[in-house]
């Protein structure tokens, strides 16, 4: 049975063409699924009855199974989603004054094993399918609407999720073949209709795949830098041994002509005494001299057994100032949802560790509306 959430716009068009239906049918169905968040094919009332019956027999809209749904004191909301075989992934909703951002996962676990990342610690389980990636967006919109979410943009008739960041669990470029169709759905006018600048993909630096993304589906790019020289980055972000900084900087420069923004965002996690000294700031300035960029300094979010501590606030501010004095734009990321382990780098899909036994009786399907 085809899961309609798995089909990129072109694949949905092909699905209907193969069945002798006109192209506009694909657009109609896409709007039912991705704009009205309807799961039941039978409810797609502007389709002729025979088509609805055929569709019901051959396709379905199969969203994620929610294992746990937690809301933080600051309004951040995290869904733990079943990924089979005792694995789970997380999607996090971050409401702000004028937008709703969803942080989306792309893999169950991650093979890249960055030293400071909870997802990396659990190793790689598997790639998510397109349906599982876009299903996070589908489900979040649907659940938030059903729960009467508020927000200035929702009052203006926009869906709850206005921005997507692929900054959840996993390395999105390592799951390129499922991530790109999901991106295409996020951008498609008959699906989520987000502008390219409202969709950001974060990568630890898979250089050849940065080029492929530029050619296939350029969206805003964030790169997890975390160190200003190869020696330190080799330790913190092991993929650097394969794709060192010089190559990474060159890939960023090659990406920009196609990008929806004229800068790359460099993420830089602040690790106490490790990468946060004045000399590191000076090295960063030199490293990025030829790369139009903005820095986003991320206070390290601890997790059990991490082995790092967060840089004290005043030194993060001093680091920011050092970058700014050299003419760089640098912001400090607000930590959201840390009381529910939803902050950057804390996502671990902890079904195995913490909740497996309880979950045996508590897996509940997503609400049907």
Contacting positions for ligand SF4 (CB under 6 A):
110, 112-114, 117, 119-120, 170-171, 204, 224
Give the one entry of ligand SF4, ligand SAH, none that residue 359 binds, where binding means its C-beta sits below a cut-off of 5 to 8 angstroms depending on kind.
Answer: none
Select the residue whose beta carbon is closest to ligand SF4 and give its number: 120
The nearest distance, CB 140 to ligand SAH, in angstroms, is 17
The nearest distance, CB 203 to ligand SF4, in angstroms, is 8
The nearest distance, CB 275 to ligand SF4, in angstroms, is 14
Output 103 or 114, the one with its CB closest to ligand SF4.
114
Give the one entry of ligand SAH, ligand SF4, none that residue 30 binds, where binding means its C-beta sits below a cut-off of 5 to 8 angstroms depending on kind.
Answer: none
The nearest distance, CB 62 to ligand SF4, in angstroms, is 26
Give the one entry of ligand SAH, ligand SF4, none that residue 21 binds, where binding means its C-beta sits below a cut-off of 5 to 8 angstroms depending on kind.
Answer: none
Give the one entry of ligand SAH, ligand SF4, none that residue 344 binds, where binding means its C-beta sits below a cut-off of 5 to 8 angstroms depending on kind.
Answer: ligand SAH
As annotated, the active-site residues are 90, 344
> Which residues are near ligand SAH by CB under 6 A?
114, 116-117, 167, 171, 202-204, 224, 267, 269, 298, 300-301, 344-345
Give the one entry of ligand SAH, ligand SF4, none that residue 240 binds, where binding means its C-beta sits below a cut-off of 5 to 8 angstroms depending on kind.
Answer: none
Output 87 or 224, the one with its CB closest to ligand SF4.
224
Output 204 or 265, the one with its CB closest to ligand SF4.
204
Query: Which tokens in the block code for residue 257?
Result: 């002509």
Output 138 or 300, the one with its CB closest to ligand SAH.
300
Select the residue whose beta carbon is closest to ligand SAH and give its number: 345
Output 190 or 350, the one with its CB closest to ligand SAH.
350
The nearest distance, CB 342 to ligand SF4, in angstroms, is 15
**HEC profile of the chain:** CEEHHHCCHHHHHHHHHHCCCCHHHHHHHHHHHHCCCCCCHHHCCCCCHHHHHHHHHHEECCCCCEEEEEECCCCCEEEEEECCCCCEEEEEEEECCCCEEEECCCEEECCCCCCCCHHHHCCEEEECCHHHHHHHHHHHHHHHHHCCCCCHHHHCCCCCCCEEEECCCCCHHHHHHHHHHHHHHHHCCCCCCCCHHHEEEEECCCHHHHHHHHHHCCCEEEEECCCCCHHHHHHHCHHHHCCCHHHHHHHHHHHHHHCCCCCEEEEEEEECCCCCCHHHHHHHHHHCCCCCEEEEEEECCCCCCCCCCECCHHHHHHHHHHHHHCCCEEEECCCCCHHHCCCCCCCCCCHHHHHHHHHCCCCCCCCCC
């Amino acid at each position: 049975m085809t899961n309609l959430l798995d089909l990129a716009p072109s694949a949905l068009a092909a699905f209907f063409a193969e069945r002798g239906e006109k192209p506009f049918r694909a657009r109609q169905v896409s709007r039912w699924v991705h704009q009205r968040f309807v799961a039941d094919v039978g409810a797609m009332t502007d389709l002729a009855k025979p088509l609805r019956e055929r569709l019901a027999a051959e396709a379905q809209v199969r969203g994620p199974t929610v294992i746990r749904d937690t809301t933080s004191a600051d309004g951040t909301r995290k869904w733990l989603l079943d990924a089979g075989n005792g694995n789970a992934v997380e999607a996090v909703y971050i409401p702000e004054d004028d937008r709703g951002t969803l942080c989306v996962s792309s893999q169950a676990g991650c093979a890249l094993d960055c030293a400071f990342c909870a997802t990396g610690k659990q190793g790689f389980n598997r790639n998510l399918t397109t349906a599982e990636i876009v299903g996070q967006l589908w489900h979040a919109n649907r659940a938030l609407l059903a729960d009467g979410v508020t927000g200035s943009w929702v009052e203006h008739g926009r869906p709850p999720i206005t921005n997507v960041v692929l900054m959840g669990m996993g390395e999105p470029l390592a799951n390129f073949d499922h991530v790109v169709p999901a991106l295409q759905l996020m951008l498609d006018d008959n699906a989520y209709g987000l502008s390219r600048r409202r969709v950001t993909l974060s990568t630890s630096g898979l250089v050849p795949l940065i080029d492929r993304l530029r050619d296939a589906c350029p969206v805003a790019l964030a790169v997890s830098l975390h160190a200003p020289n190869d020696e330190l980055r080799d330790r913190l972000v092991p993929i650097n041994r394969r794709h060192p900084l010089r190559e990474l900087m060159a890939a960023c420069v090659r990406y920009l002509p196609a990008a929806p923004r004229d800068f790359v965002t460099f993420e830089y996690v602040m690790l106490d005494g490790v990468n946060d000294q004045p000399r590191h700031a000076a090295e960063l300035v030199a490293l990025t001299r030829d790369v139009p960029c903005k820095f986003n300094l991320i206070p390290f979010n601890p997790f059990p057994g991490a082995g790092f501590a967060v840089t004290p606030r005043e030194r993060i501010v001093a680091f920011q100032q050092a970058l700014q004095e050299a003419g760089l734009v640098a912001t400090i990321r607000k930590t959201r949802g840390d009381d529910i382990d939803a902050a950057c780098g804390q996502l671990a899909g902890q079904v195995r560790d913490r909740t497996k036994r309880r979950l045996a009786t508590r897996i509940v399907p997503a609400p049907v509306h």
